[in-house]
Amino acid sequence: MIIIAGQGNPGPKYADNRHNVGFWVLDEIAAHYNFRPWREKFNAMVSEGVIETQTGPVKALLLKPMTFYNESGQALAKAAKFYKIKASDIILFHDEIDLAPGRLRVKQGGGHSGNNGVRSALAHLGPDIRRIRIGIGHPGEKSKVMPYVLSDFSKADQVWLDPLISACVRSLGLLCQGADERYQSEVMRLAPAPKLDPKQTG
């Protein structure tokens, strides 16, 4: 079994925020692969199912922490301990301001780059979790970061966001069989990032 988690904040107030894009991906995975209904466990919402890969079926637990973004590692650690899952079998989808909108990178190891949700996950589980960094761009000034990530995606963002989430879900078999680089390349092939804005990093 593997755990596929998403970063986000619980409740309708935050549902459309940039910070919640990890939750969006998990909702699409659950729908696309016909996972079981969401239920509460581990201070999170979880759903179980199977993802078919070229090397066979992989059982997966989807997990959306309900602890709020900055403490999301708590729920992940509880689930990992219960199922005896090692950190390298945990996949975490999260927003990334250090990547331009529409870009995606798979990362294992390294630091949290100031992302408090990732900081929590690394603190509880160590550096071996596999992180799917979904670029949302940077507002340009450090003081604007918090309002930016806690604001909703714009209508213009849907042009790249919807295809990117779809590509993340359709290519998931590669990720589940450990082909991280192929997954990253396939997602970017299916959903090329928009042209870079000079004000945005990535």
Catalytic residue list: 19
Alpha helical stretches, state H, 86-127? 116-125
Structure tokens belonging to residue 16 = 């459309």
What gap in Å lies between CA 91 and CA 61, rounded to an integer? 10
Helix (H, G, I), strand (E, B) or coil at 51: strand
Tracing tokens 């998931």 back to the chain, one arrives at 172
Asked if 186 and 167 count as a contact pair (C-beta separation under 8 A), the reply is yes
- SS3 state of residue 173: helix
- Quick check: 30 and 52 in contact, CB under 8 A? no
Give 14's contacts (C-beta < 8 A, 6+ positions apart). Answer: 8, 20, 150
